Structure 1
């Protein structure tokens, strides 16, 4: 793969992950199949306004609860909606390290179908300085795999699309980037990203090796 001039990286499913254990517990207690709340959260009439900036967190919670009341009691629906919209989040430390190291030699931007409260989430995860910029669908009014969000990302990176590496865990989003001439990585594991960034990591790796040789952490 050609050494990228910029890295455009998805957030959820690549960097950020959610722990739905409590939601699953509540679903089972209510007699719902696991995943029912997620389907309500990203169902018709909810997903699009959510990622295009049309819903606050409170409005999203209400929409999820309303969708679930067709299957469970109002009390159970409210509990499920509350748990889902406050699900614990974490960041993959290996992916974060790779992106920080890549950023030393090229622009790194997050390109994500997210919410109007994304900045709060990134701050909570300690990721406000992870990238040179964030292209958030809720702010730009375009969501992957729409062409416009990729064009915005490349423009903000200051790099032609054909010199961008686009990383995403969804094949359809990668295909849309490839249609614009970007190199695409359908992400599955950190090893995939490490291989794609190999040409951008030697300096950072050498620096770490030098620190270790000097007895520094």
Structure 2
């Protein structure tokens, strides 16, 4: 892998905590088990014939419309379900409340920018969630570009979404690097000629990124006193 000209970071699961952890935190807030919520999300998506989060990530539904359909789907499967703590029609605000960014990866974005690399965020996201997640990572003044599925009406792993990123950056696929935790997205980008880094954990990703860029990203271990 040669040093890329443009480095794209995924948001969910890379710049944020892992997706399973986010579902677990949402359960603590609402009482909704991840498998129950994910089933409802799938039910809503199946009605539209699209992947699980595409209804909001492609802006086919507003957050409010999606939340109302989630509630209906949950009650269809369990009429006695307790939704008293869930604010489904304002899902994003509750989902992101109290959630920290993945600080080591956010720091890596800043370090790469300081060292002359162009950096961006390539995210499947939701119109109404923009304020919450962008405030969480605090990179608006750092990144060169944010390409958001809900603005483009196409999402990873769709070819069209990667083509939008290429056009916006003006950087050819072979000089672009995607860091993403979803294997399907990694395979799709690689098939289009992108450089890819499949994120599995912070140390693995930072070590690989450090090797390919030459920028020091791994914090030295602190010796015990």
Could you tell me the TM-score, scaled by structure 1's length? Answer: 0.80
Matched residue of 2:60: which SS?
A: coil
In the alignment, structure 2 segments of 5+ residues that lack a partner are 221-225
Query: Which of 182, 201, 205 pairs up with 1:193?
Result: 205
Which stretch shows the higher mean deviation, 156-165 or 186-195? 186-195
Q: Distance in 2 between matches of 1:97 and 1:178?
A: 25
Measured in 1, the distance between the counterparts of 2:145 and 2:156 equals 17
Instruction: Give matches, 1:64-213, under 5 Å.
Output: 64-73=70-79, 76-77=82-83, 79-80=85-86, 82=88, 85=92, 86-87=94-95, 88=97, 89-104=99-114, 105-125=116-136, 126-198=138-210, 199-200=212-213, 202=215
Q: Distance in 2 between matches of 1:166 and 1:114?
A: 16
Going from structure 1 to structure 2, the CA distance change for 1:136 and 1:41 (only over 3 Å counts) comes to same
Give the deviation of 1:201 after TM superposition: 5.0
**SS at 1:90 equivalent:** coil
Q: Please report the TM-score for the alignment, with normalisation by the length of structure 2.
A: 0.78
Tell whether the 8 Å contact from 2:29 to 2:85 is kept in structure 1 after alignment: no
- SS in structure 2 at match of 1:13: helix
Q: 1:22 to 1:179 in 2, by over 3 A?
A: closer
Alpha-carbon distance, 1:101 to partner = 1.0
Aligned to 2:64: 58
